Homo-oligomer: A and B are copies of this chain.
């Protein structure tokens, strides 16, 4: 297709929107390692999972074989409220960089949760509703996931209890307030409302909290209340499945305009956005039908892929969850307090971990001041104020485009712009004031937490 015909923003029509989630695991020759019951050392069963998760979600978690999952109509209807998200051609950024590369971004920020998290939140809330539950519990770090879940629960009439990492709770009162506007109960974590929270507070008084702590509390809250289950916004196989809607739309948009991506880039905290974005493309790569250069981008201050270990580890700090085999920094790892935004999880999706380990994708890490510099440059030319998380992908896409400038290659670069930074202006202020600093954990620090990995 004539390149000049590619619009600034590609929106699929309702008829063109995908109606299935794609499950990468079905095309993986080596499947991701199963979750283990830490008590028995054996793979967790559906019944065990169903004590924590909705049963249908437990099934999705364990299903390594079904390739396509039809999306229930009620979820499709909800998707129509904010999807399709646009695939945007970054004409202005290309011009600014003077690069022959063609840069596209899949923009997931045009909904009130401000990120892609809503794609899985509505799915998980839907299955909870189907199971006649009263409500769900969860944790949130930067706040996107908690906001998304509170929106989904408000829509379906479910109770929503959110454990919010304490430092975020304090630094982001407005995030908290959005959740409250959607009717959610928000508790700073660690808290005195759970046994595991009390234990953590006793051991580490004055702690800022972490995602790992908040997960422990949310799981405890779910299993100790009748009619509640726990939901998680990333890492899990089920979440990557739901997030495949991002990739399915991107794939359809590329087909429609005959765009052949060379490089596909996503930020990676627990892997939900990256896994979702690359899904159908990775499927082609796994089946040997096409090749793509997939890049995971993570913060240098929380480098799970680039400096972590591929091993079984707990998903939480309080060690109440199953064990997952994943790239991990150790479940006690807490990123430096100077680290802004999300992407602060110690582990990584087991699916992506396996693919990374097999060499199907690569990973890079960036320090946060260079990430914010890219964010500000992007905001000024493309008009969108990006989330700090998403800006890791921007940084990498810009660098890839600049490489193309050197080599003269007209690569098609696609990156995931997962969300907006409206609730991250404290961090932008630090950057604008020149008071933002970088932090890279020392080798000793990495080794210290590695030594604490469970012996399996």
| Chain A contacts to B: CB under 8 angstroms | 7-9, 11, 13-14, 80-82, 92, 110-112, 114, 151, 154-155, 173-174, 177-178, 180-183, 376, 379-385, 420, 422-423, 425-426, 428-429, 432
Contact = CB atoms under 8 A, between A and B. Distances in A.
A102 to B, nearest CB: 16
B432 A177 contact: yes
B425 A174 contact: yes
Contact of A423 (B112, B183, B422): B422
A181 B381 contact: no
16 contacts: A7-B14, A81-B382, A81-B383, A111-B383, A112-B379, A112-B384, A151-B380, A151-B383, A155-B381, A174-B174, A174-B422, A174-B425, A178-B385, A178-B425, A180-B432, A181-B379
A126 to B, nearest CB: 15
A432 B181 contact: yes
Listed residue (A114, A426, A429) with the most chain B CB atoms within 10 angstroms of its CB = A429
Number of copies: 2
A67 to B, nearest CB: 28
Contacts of A14: 7-8
B7 A379 contact: no
A385 B155 contact: no
A331 to B, nearest CB: 33
A182 B112 contact: no
A430 to B, nearest CB: 10
A2 to B, nearest CB: 14
Nearest to A420: B112
Contacts of A180: 429, 432
A386 B175 CA distance: 15
A425 B422 CA distance: 12
B7 A385 contact: no
Given A174-B425, A177-B428, 8 more contacts: A11-B11, A81-B383, A110-B110, A111-B384, A154-B379, A154-B380, A173-B425, A422-B422
Contacts of A428: 177-178, 181
Contacts of A80: 7-9
Nearest to A8: B80
Contacts of A114: 422
Given A81-B8, A81-B92, A425-B178, A112 B383 contact: yes
